[in-house]
Structure 1
């Protein structure tokens, strides 16, 4: 084990941990805005209750996402300074816009939304949560544009004197075809997570408190979340299909690694399950769907999918001697776990809608158990999707331009990386406990009472301290 190995583990752990909060923040910001819009349009108190209820869960998650996201910035300077030096001119523009425009937009208007209840006009207060939601989604786009440069470098040139990548076309970076499809795919995955959370919390209250006065609110939340989950799952499949075809164009090795396909085939089958050697070179048993891999990669059921061996020979001739094959077991299984967990969440959403048919209220304890697991499924699907995306690109940190081993900080020792890795892991474990306790505490509390209270305080409103208006 050397500094490179630990630096990769540290970046992987901190990134996956941070991304546990990102999809929930993206999805909940919009869903809370929709709930408040329904209240604004109808005046029905159940929408106000749900807005404040899920809004509080959104704020807890948003705060944790900000804290863990800051650490991501440290990684580039701490362990990956050579990589930062190489791509700094490219990454600087989208990440600066993300911080100066998108992040400030969402953070400013979230503040107005938190403290603006009963202080701002209703329309202005509604506009605040929509502005925060737009800022959250814009933030995701600029970050994905930067990441997409790593997958498919565009709009740059290599300075022969400094050896750095220099930006030549900012529009090309923002309109990278990888970014244009990764963004809607990521948003669909985010709404899959957010919709699942709505269902899980609502089901818990419906089944445990069947005669509650707030049952109509929870029934709506369960059905609304289920529809969001199903629509999002459909969008994930459609955008994922397009993404797979673009991935095959720009990174054919990643598609071959997703199947463990060593020889070029036409047509190529997709294996649902394979039993054999760990690296996929020897197959004992496989459950395959004919023509599917060809369609996923090329759009033609009889299309040709290049194999790992041919691509390895091609890259060796193009880039020099070395292994250009990612870790096959990770790419193979992460790709399948991503699909399986996402479909499982959609199946539970279908079951929830079925139990609500004809005005019924679900009572099954088995459904409750499935509902409580439900948010974890799309979270796992999102995580495995990103593990596949990043691990499938290896050994490149910027595809075709920079190997991962060349991006690590040369001045950082193994002991230093181990120290920071240990510290971050302990801090993140502590934050995980805090996050989970807060979410469970406020989720169990249920929707708040929104009945207007008589004002018996003579204190001037302008002199009152700002506080959460929940």
Structure 2
């Protein structure tokens, strides 16, 4: 393999591993806010116990997420020096904004969230939980803004030529609200909410199947199910809006996602299939004119295909892009079907009586995480051969001095370290789940109420 391929694999591996954790943190943050909000609203100690339990798991995901995110910043300098010089002014502004508006807020309240349970009032602790969650949300804003600028650059001009060229911001807010940032941010947020909600659903479905923490689990499961149902339906709308944006701003990517080759012809939408780039054929199950209808509400409206672009500007690995995109959509539809069916059974009063459904939720924790990963694979591979769309090719963005053997060695080392981190994460997560929520406070709370009731009865 050459330096470019190895460097892309290395960065893809590190960012994919890192991206397991931030969505879980954002999604769990929302659930924690909902649990503490319910505790403040009802005074029911069960919600307090649940919030403390999920805060421990949040701390685990947050800590590993921070540690694994640092590596990528070094890779920009070691492997992608030309890229770093080109986008430095743009990314510098976005990442500085993340530090000021997001990380400071998140880290400022984190200590109160983790250690303030018996030191501050429930309202103050709720505010701290809300602050940490909002901080994680704002952090996603600036990361997605930076990435979206690569997809649809705006608010800048290019200074210098050749290897000395770099983009300078001329309009900060045009850079922030570039043509794809808002729709992609919403898509990312909703994916993160699903990751957190399905983790909660999985754990408490497991407890219910094992007849542990039954009353606590029913409450947590219902809250997470409400979040998952609403968000999965919202993701369908957000995903469609994102696809419309890709059709307008990155037509070559959309053509790759759907395996559409003809330069100017109506496009089918495939439920599943296999792309043969050489013969320019897709073998699968199509909906005739489906893509044309989704984009233009007309089955016969032409859609720009790959043949409208020079070969050197077409994304490579078309079949991989096609498969990643369609798996993402399939997992999204599975989440919608599962949450809607569970909501219907809740309405019928049979939600917790169907063991097969609870087992389904135990394993469904994989769905949003795989959908998030595959969605990013499709988006980033579909942007190729550009690292900054239409401006800087990936092949031109490499460091001039880095060698293939150096990248390969560091990739092997990263794999070993990350495998160890992942094993540690699974071990600690499993340990916390096996221990479960601490119900000692709940029992003490109930004992005090029983003693008060007995005393009242004697009077």
TM-score, reference length from structure 2? 0.92
Cα separation, 2, equivalents of 1:215 and 1:361: 13
**2:416 alignment partner, one of 391, 404, 426:** 426
**Structure 2 counterparts to residues 323-338 of structure 1, below 5 A:** 323-338=313-328
- Go from structure 1 to structure 2 and tell me whether the alpha carbon gap of 1:280 and 1:424 turns closer, same or farther (over 3 Å shift): farther
Tell whether 2:269 aligns with 1:270: yes
Where 1:177 maps in the other structure, the secondary structure is coil
Deviation of the 1:350 alpha carbon: 3.2
Task: Return closer, same or farther for 1:106/1:276 CA change in 2, 3 Å cut-off.
Answer: closer
Name the residue aligned to 2:286. Answer: 288
Deviation string, structure 1 residues 60-99 (Cα, Å, up to 9, x no partner) = 1111111111112111111111100011011100111112
Tell me the CA shift for residue 393 of structure 1: 0.2
Deviation of 1:191 (Å): 1.0
Please say if residues 200 and 372 of structure 1, whose CA atoms lie closer than 8 Å, have aligned partners that are also in contact.
Answer: yes
State the 1:395 CA deviation: 0.3
**1:266: Cα distance to partner?**
4.0
Deviates more, 1:72-81 or 1:396-405: 72-81
1:465 aligns to what?
Answer: none
State whether residues 247 and 255 of structure 1, in contact with CA within 8 Å, keep that contact through their aligned partners in structure 2.
Answer: yes
User: Which runs of 5 or more residues in structure 2 are unaligned?
Assistant: 446-459
Higher helix share: 2
Structure 1 counterpart of 2:359: 369
**Residue in 1 that maps onto 2:452:** none
Q: CA deviation at 1:220?
A: 1.8
Residue-by-residue CA offset, 1:316-349 (whole Å, 9 max, x unaligned): xxxxxx3433321111111100011122223332
Alignment correspondent of 1:252: 251
Q: Which of residues 436, 443, 450 in structure 1 aligns to 2:433?
A: 443
Deviation at 1:295, TM superposition (A): 3.3
Deviations 1:376-408 (A, max 9, x none): 111000100000000000000000100001111
Task: Give distance in 2, aligned partners of 1:453 and 1:366.
Answer: 35
Question: What are the within-5 Å matches in structure 2 for residues 50-199 of structure 1?
Answer: 50-160=50-160, 162-199=164-201
Task: Describe the SS at the equivalent of 1:366.
Answer: helix
- How far apart are the structure 2 equivalents of 1:289 and 1:265? 18
Q: What does residue 460 of structure 1 align with?
A: none
SS at match of 2:328: helix
Task: Report if the CA contact (8 A) 2:306-2:314 is conserved.
Answer: no
1:304: Cα distance to partner? 2.0
What TM-score, normalized to structure 1?
A: 0.90
Given candidates 323, 327, 340, the residue that maps to 1:350 is 340
Deviations for 1:353-391, whole angstroms, at most 9, x for unmatched residues?
344445446355533432221111110001000000000
**Counterpart position of 2:239:** 240
Q: Which of these residues, 372, 376, 380, is aligned with residue 370 of structure 2?
A: 380
Closer, same or farther in 2 for the Cα pair 1:350/1:328, shift >3 Å? same
Instruction: Supply the distance in 2 between the matched residues of 1:180 and 1:28 (Cα, whole angstroms).
Output: 22
Cα displacement (A) at 1:18: 0.8
Distance in 1 (alpha carbons) for counterparts of 2:292 and 2:407: 42
Shift of residue 267 of structure 1? 2.9
- Count of aligned pairs between the two proteins: 442
Q: Is the 8 A contact 1:280 1:328 kept in 2?
A: no
Q: In the TM superposition, what is the alpha-carbon distance from 1:52 to its structure 2 partner?
A: 1.0
Whole-angstrom distance in 1 between the partners of 2:327 and 2:156: 35
* RMSD, aligned α-carbons: 1.9
Other-structure match for 1:317: none
Separation in 2, partners of 1:452, 1:367: 30
